[in-house]
Amino acid sequence: MNFSRIRLGVVAALAASGIVAVSAPMPTAAADGPGVRYISFGDSQTAAVYAGGGGPLGLPELQQQPKTVPPPNPVACGRTNYGWPSTLAGEWGLGAPQLGDWADYACQSATTDIEPVNNLRTQVDQSIKDGMLGPATKLVTIQIGGNDTWYPGQQSSFVYTLVLCMVDILRGCDDRVDPNLYLDANAVTGASLAQRLTAGLRGDIIGAIRAAAPNVAIKLVGYPDPLPPVGVPFVCTHVVGIPVPWPQARSAYAHKLSDAVESAQRDAAEQLGLGFWSLRPPTAGHDACAADSYWTGVADPGQSFFPFHQTLQGHAVEGTYLNGARIAEGIG
């Protein structure tokens, strides 16, 4: 895969649409005090989480970042240098994470405020403790919500509900056929996410970021949509690189749930005076069933990431797209 060509193509498309000013000057070193210029918070979709391999078959080697120490953080995060934040920071010219002018605190299975040792607040607090989040920080991205408990009594996250619903060939996925287990899409709202970001179990997380980094732009980042278009009568994965479709003509509830998470992130950003960057535009047409899918399967050659996560190509495209959004908004 030629990532340079992919990135140039995305930049060209953004420039043509007026999203990115290609001639924007390179950023200069921040002189506002302590802290790095950019910090990434999030879950496994952010972290490009490692799932084994390295060396043979072109699998990328694990590039674990210097780990933040527990407590309160988890003992290990399988974070790699191949996630979209690394692409964004690389094209920004910020150097290596935790060693250059940016830092990455995303970790697999992270929640907004539920998981006691791996939530957004622990990531933020650790970044402050490490001296990374500070007055010099210009951009913070947060990609969170897929693993969340959105309301009391919820038994399944967005991710697990989506998988359980789509593989239910007998009952289909047009409705919330299992109210006891499936996440209620109607309860996935911007108000819920905004409350948990500012007054949930972990207190005012957004306030903590703003207090430490008064000059920062905070952007909530959405998730790419894994679902094939409405009307496609199957859903897919890959096993050792070979597409494996299975029948599922009824997927209305899955689409409703995926759209609800995107809308909740967008609405929460608006309610809290943050920004929202969607990853749907650069990943459209690359769903799990597409010929050029950006979604990993099981033991895919050339991929060492967890199944049902973005591929190397997907992360590269997303990082370039978001760096273009950053330039367009004059964040630097």
DSSP 301-313: TT--BPTTSB-HH
Looking at mean pLDDT, say which of 160-164, 188-192, 245-249 comes out highest.
188-192
Which residues are 239's β-sheet partners? 242, 298
Most confident segment among 19-33, 48-62, 203-217, 223-237: 203-217
Residues 68, 195: Cα–Cα separation, whole Å: 27
User: Between 92 and 15, where is the model more confident?
Assistant: 92
Q: Which of 112, 247, 76, 294 is nearest to 190 (CA)?
A: 112
Interior/surface letters 199-216, b for 16+ CB within 10 angstroms, e for the rest: ebebeebbebbbebbeeb
Answer whether the bond into residue 71 is a cis peptide, omega within 30°.
yes
Q: Determine the average pLDDT of the residues in 78-100.
A: 91
Q: Say which DSSP state 56 is in.
A: G
Residue showing tokens 């287990």 = 181
81 contacts: CB under 8 Å, gap ≥ 6? 48, 63, 65, 96, 97
In the sheet that holds 38-42, the strands lie side by side as 102-104, 38-42, 139-143, 217-221, 275-277
Residue 57 region by backbone torsions, left for phi larger than 0, else alpha for psi between -120 and 50, else beta: left
> What average pLDDT does the structure give for the chain?
84
Does the pLDDT value for residue 16 go beyond 70? Answer: no
Report in angstroms the alpha-carbon separations of 64 from 38, 83, 145, 156: 18, 12, 23, 29
Longest dimension (CA), the chain: 61
- For 218-251, what is each residue's pLDDT tens digit? 999 999 999 999 888 988 887 877 878 888 889 9
Lowest average pLDDT, out of 100-104, 240-244, 270-274, goes to 240-244
Could you give the CA distance from residue 171 to residue 174 in angstroms, rounded to a whole number?
A: 8
How far is residue 88's CA from residue 148's CA, in Å, rounded to a whole number? 26
Is the model's pLDDT at 72 over the cut of 60? no
CB 163 within 8 A of CB 59: no
Find the DSSP H helices in the chain: 3-16, 44-47, 84-92, 120-129, 158-166, 190-198, 205-212, 252-272, 280-283, 312-328
pLDDT at 216: 98
More confident residue, 60 or 14: 60
| Residue-level pLDDT at 7 | 35
User: Residue 185 above 50 pLDDT?
Assistant: yes
What is the reported pLDDT for 74? Answer: 58
